[in-house]
Amino acid sequence: EDQVTQSPEALRLQEGESSSLNCSYTVSGLRGLFWYRQDPGKGPEFLFTLYSAGEEKEKERLKATLTKKESFLHITAPKPEDSATYLCAVQGWGSQGNLIFGKGTKLSVKP
Amino acid sequence: GAGVSQSPSNKVTEKGKDVELRCDPISGHTALYWYRQSLGQGLEFLIYFQGNSAPDKSGLPSDRFSAERTGGSVSTLTIQRTQQEDSAVYLCASSLDSYEQYFGPGTRLTVT
């Protein structure tokens, strides 16, 4: 069964304090791993897609990396506006295209 | 360009009533998905439409849930005889190539 586990559940950082969020997954043939950002009361906002181990993608203060068992979302020098819930999802080749989501990491960045 | 839109944004209904939730995908996107997000739970897949193919209904939790997609565009999710456990945010997403999915703002359903 495809499964995604995210840790920690919640993370509090001071502005400028870099850290990483973890996404561990099991899937029968990875088609893609996706990171989303979700603000309260809104739908998830697409951030990155990673397809194969060793791949990295960056956007502003965010960098996503992928291994065969997990993905990390590195946040460098975060700002208060980076506060949100970050969701990780996988899509397997055996699926019809639907995503399997983790429960998310709620990030709070204090000024 | 316009993103995925959903209506209504909020719906309060009494237990036992039927509700319809609407999704307008991004123009040109052939794939459309419905997910449910309950408090403290991750997003849960419900149903998937791809072009003119038969939908993948494997995520629907009971036969009270159904969905249709007319003309390959707008989709309606119908929940019959609503129960309190149906209270959740219902999210719609669309995709051009079944990879990156773009989500709407969701419909918050409250069953009293």
If pLDDT is split at 50, 70 and 90, which confidence band does B11 have? very high
Of the candidates B41, B58, B106, the beta carbon closest to that of A43 is on B106
The residue type at B81: R
**In chain A, where are the structural domains located?**
3-94
Q: Residue B41, by phi and psi: left (phi above 0), alpha (psi -120 to 50) or beta?
A: beta
Question: In this predicted model, what pLDDT tens digit does every residue of A12-26 receive, in sequence order?
Answer: 999 999 999 999 999
Q: Is residue B51 within 8 angstroms of chain A, CB to CB?
A: no
Closest CA to B37 of A73, A70, A102: A102
Is A31 part of the contact surface with chain B (CB cutoff 8 Å)?
yes
For domain B5-101, the CATH class is mainly beta
- CA of B40 vs chain A CAs: smallest distance (Å): 7
Determine the average pLDDT of the residues in A37-54.
96
Mutate to test the interface with B, among A33, A96, A105 (most CBs of B within 10 A): A96
Write out the two tokens for A92: 């397997």
The band of B97, judged by pLDDT with boundaries at 50, 70 and 90, is: confident
CATH number of A3-94: 2.60.40.10
pLDDT at B70 > cutoff 90: no
Minimum distance, in Å, between the CA of residue B6 and any CA atom of chain A: 10
Q: Report the pLDDT averaged over residues A54-83.
A: 97
Which pLDDT value is given to residue A18?
98
Q: Do B56 and A44 touch (CB under 8 A)?
A: no
Query: Which of B33, B100, B104 comes nearest A98 by C-beta?
Result: B33
Interchain CB distance below 8 Å, B106 and A42: yes
User: In Å, how far is A13's CA from the nearest CA of chain B?
Assistant: 22
Q: From CA B19, how far away is CA A41, in angstroms rounded?
A: 21
Q: Give the distance from residue A26's alpha carbon to the nearest chain B alpha carbon, in angstroms.
A: 16
Average pLDDT over residues B38-43: 86
What pLDDT, on a 0 to 100 scale, did the predictor assign at position B31? 93
Q: Given this model, what pLDDT does residue A17 score?
A: 97
CB contact under 8 A, A103 and B58: no
The answer to whether the CB of B36 falls within 8 A of the CB of B111 is: no
pLDDT at B1 over 70: no
Domain spans of chain B?
Answer: 5-101
